């Protein structure tokens, strides 16, 4: 009985306030009225990293900061800004890390070049082998 009581009390444990008490930003959980614009915003939000919970996109995260970023993305798209312009604005502030969209740059091109090189090497090896046999 005592053990049960302790277990029940454990269920009542409350975390110390670690998040704010303000209501979410207007467009954090509200879609844009124009379906085409909302689709644009959704596509962008799915490729932006939540800075609080870094494994998630801002579309997936319930962190207040992700909510504020969704609000920012939606209001800017509603104002006619291009999604890639918003992405560039964020990269200018947080670096490439904030974007999930792969891009070919000075430090990332080997990632894209290496598979092609490997395929060419394999093709060359196979050709030599089959030639040798026949």
> Applying CB under 8 A, which residues contact another protein?
16-22, 25, 51-52, 54, 64-65, 68-69, 71-72, 90-95, 97-98
- Rounded least distance, CB 131 to another protein, Å: 18
- Rounded least distance, CB 9 to another protein, Å: 23
Closer residue to another protein (CB): 6 or 77: 77
For the chain, counts of helices (H) and of strands (E)? 5, 0
Closer residue to another protein (CB): 35 or 132: 132
- Rounded least distance, CB 8 to another protein, Å: 27
CA distances (Å), origin 78, targets 9, 37, 74, 101, 133: 48, 7, 6, 22, 65
Closer residue to another protein (CB): 47 or 64: 64
Contacts of 17 (CB under 8 A, 6+ apart): none
Element (H, E) at 19: none
């Amino acid at each position: 009985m005592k053990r049960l009581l302790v277990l029940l009390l454990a269920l009542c444990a409350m975390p110390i306030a670690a998040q704010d008490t303000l209501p979410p930003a207007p467009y954090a959980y509200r879609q844009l009225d124009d379906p085409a614009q909302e689709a644009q915003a959704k596509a962008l939000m799915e490729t932006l990293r939540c800075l609080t919970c870094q494994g998630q996109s801002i579309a997936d995260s319930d962190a207040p900061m992700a909510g504020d970023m969704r609000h920012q993305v939606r209001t800017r798209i509603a104002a006619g800004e291009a999604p890639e312009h918003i992405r560039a604005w964020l990269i200018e502030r947080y670096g490439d890390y904030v974007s999930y969209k792969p891009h070919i740059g000075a430090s990332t091109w080997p990632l894209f070049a290496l598979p092609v090189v490997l395929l060419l090497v394999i093709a060359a090896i196979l050709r030599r082998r089959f030639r040798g046999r026949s």
